[in-house]
Structure 1
Amino acid sequence: MENHRFGFCAISATLLLALVPALALAAPPSGRLEGLAQHANTDVATRVDITGKSANIHFDAPFSCDITATYLKDDNGASLFRFNLSTNGGSFCDGLKKEIAFKPAKAKDGSAIWHISFSSKNNDWTGQLAPAGKP
């Protein structure tokens, strides 16, 4: 009986250690992230400042608007933030639907990046953000 208990503990510990990297990647993003959001032939510079469960999102020209979002939940390895009302108006930010998803990934150089996805009135947008100061 003692050998079975040891074997079970060893297997459990091995499984837990295997999950640790995945659990670390599933944490919501934090700090400043920068990059591009894209749809078809349209690219827009995007900056996101995340503190705790709050995100301040800025879309550069041609949209030039700001919106906040609040952490909602983790879903399929992505952190979902629910859009609030835009803070400075603008039809683009006013037309954003539901939430923005941040999914952790690794760049070719091994650094952490975040794939984003969200929808506006007429389009689905995707993009890639990296911590500020990283290419």
Structure 2
Amino acid sequence: MVLYADPSQYRSVVGALQYLSLTCPDISFAINKVCQFMHKPTELHWSAVKQILHYLKFAINFGLQIRLSSSTQLSIYCDVDWAGCPDDHRSTSGYCIYFGLNLISCSSKKQPIVARSSTKAEYRVVAHATAESLWL
């Protein structure tokens, strides 16, 4: 693997993208992946960062829309890929919470421990989604 020539530029761009991912949840998973290689980025990682920037250039007019809805139902959807990361075998879990037709909260992150079964990984994401819904 060829190391990227300017690691400080990589860290600067990825750091800026981290802040942007707070308002653009569609890039949060990709940003999480490139952040894992901040200490020693390669040309391949820089290429991934450039792809994220290219996506943002063409998705600038996209966004979440808040629509008028008579429904006050809270709907929660969650999922997990059990041991999906080939590097450390940890699961990535995520959930979306809707109030009526509107997305009001979402999360996607790698679980902090290696789950010994898919059931444990599913329980973990359900617990996090439930805690978020109770907070809401």
Identify whether the pair has TM-score above 0.5, normalized to the shorter chain: no
The structure carrying a bigger strand percent of its residues is 1
The structure carrying a bigger helix percent of its residues is 2
TM-score by length of 2: 0.25
TM-score by length of 1: 0.26
Larger Rg: 1
